[in-house]
């Protein structure tokens, strides 16, 4: 059955979704290599650079808000398999059913925009939808089986991917910066690495790569790595970032 096949495929793809940035890095090579950057004006390059950063920041804003307002044991916090002790229907989950995937899309789209390749932006968007459509289908099958009518009532009025504020409802738990600091540092580091990687590859394709041209990007990457190490150490060895509501 097609329904069973989609669910099975979605569950398999769910386990490997964290490897998408690696795939992006590889796929970016031919697009960067074949883009004529010398034909672009400084204004165009500057505008696209600013746009790429803004797009990724929008993605992080969505992810941060979802992470910081999601209580323990609810759907949306699973990492390796489908898990949900209760169903998220309030807060950001009252305006979109898959806010984390929406956030991821904008974060990675920002890196793709930074390649300055319109064709790569289009191909990435199509590939992302095909990939995550199956993951979302598998997740929703799991939630439907577990929560029945409660899930049906929520999903019938809440869009899967593009937000709608028509039925927005305030969440039950307060915003937690600790949750963001504890869970999102690796994603921030990976994103900064993505931007630095694209910049280095673009300079290399133009025979402009040097320590002087890469000094600022490398400083930013180094600073992000240090902050990541500090947060990871605090998470592993102390209770500074512990949150009883979410841990």
Contact between 114 and 198 under an 8 Å Cβ cutoff? The reply is yes
| pLDDT tens per residue across span 14-54 | 666 667 677 778 888 899 888 888 788 889 999 999 999 99
pLDDT at 54: 98
| 244 against 236, higher pLDDT | 236
Which residues does 52 contact at the CB level (< 8 Å), separation at least 6? 110, 111, 112, 113, 114, 195
Phi/psi at 63 (nearest 5 deg)?
-65, -45
Task: Return the ∠ at Cα 58 (arms to 157 and 245), rounded to 5°.
Answer: 65
Summarize pLDDT for 80-105 with one digit per residue, the tens. 555 556 788 888 998 999 999 999 99
C-alpha distance from residue 5 to each of 2, 18, 130 (Å): 5, 22, 14
Average pLDDT of the chain?
A: 85
CA distances from 20 to 45, 111, 197 (A): 26, 12, 15
CA distance 20 to 27: 10
- Confidence class for position 247, pLDDT limits 50, 70, 90: low
The SS3 of residue 41 is coil
pLDDT at 211: 85
Q: Which pLDDT band, with edges at 50, 70 and 90, does 75 fall under?
A: low
52 within 8 A of 58, measured Cβ to Cβ: no
C-alpha 206: how far from chain center:
30
Mean pLDDT of the region 114-130? 92
CA distances to 90, 175, 218 from 170, in Å: 6, 11, 41
Q: What domains are there in the chain, each with its CATH number?
A: 2-174 (1.20.120.1630)
Rounded distance between C-alpha atoms, residue 197 and residue 217, angstroms: 9
The β-bridge partners of 191 are none
pLDDT of residue 10: 56
**pLDDT by residue (tens digit) across 202-223?**
999 888 888 888 999 999 999 9
Q: How many CA within 13 A on the CB side of residue 185?
A: 19
């Amino acid at each position: 059955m097609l329904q069973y096949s989609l669910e099975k495929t979605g569950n398999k793809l769910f386990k490997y979704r964290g490897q998408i940035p690696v795939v992006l890095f590889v796929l970016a090579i031919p697009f960067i290599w074949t883009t004529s950057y010398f034909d672009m004006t400084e204004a165009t390059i500057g505008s696209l650079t600013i746009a790429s950063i803004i797009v990724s920041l929008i993605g992080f804003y969505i992810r941060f808000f979802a992470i910081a307002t999601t209580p323990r044991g609810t759907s949306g916090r699973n990492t390796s398999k489908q898990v949900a002790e209760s169903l998220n229907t309030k807060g950001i989950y009252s305006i979109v059913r898959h806010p984390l995937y929406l956030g991821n899309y904008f974060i990675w789209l920002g890196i793709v925009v930074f390649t300055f390749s319109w064709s790569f932006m289009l191909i990435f968007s199509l590939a992302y939808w095909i990939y995550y459509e199956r993951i979302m289908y598998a997740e929703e099958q799991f939630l439907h089986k577990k929560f029945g009518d409660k899930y049906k009532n929520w999903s019938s009025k809440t869009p899967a991917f593009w937000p709608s504020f028509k039925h927005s409802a305030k969440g039950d738990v307060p915003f937690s910066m600790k949750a963001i600091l504890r869970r999102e540092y690796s994603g921030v580091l990976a994103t900064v690495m993505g931007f630095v990687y694209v910049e280095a590859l673009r300079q290399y394709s133009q025979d402009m790569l040097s320590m002087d041209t890469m000094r600022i990007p490398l400083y930013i990457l180094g600073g992000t790595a240090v902050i990541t190490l500090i947060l990871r150490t605090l998470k592993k060895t102390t209770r500074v970032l512990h949150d009883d509501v979410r841990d």
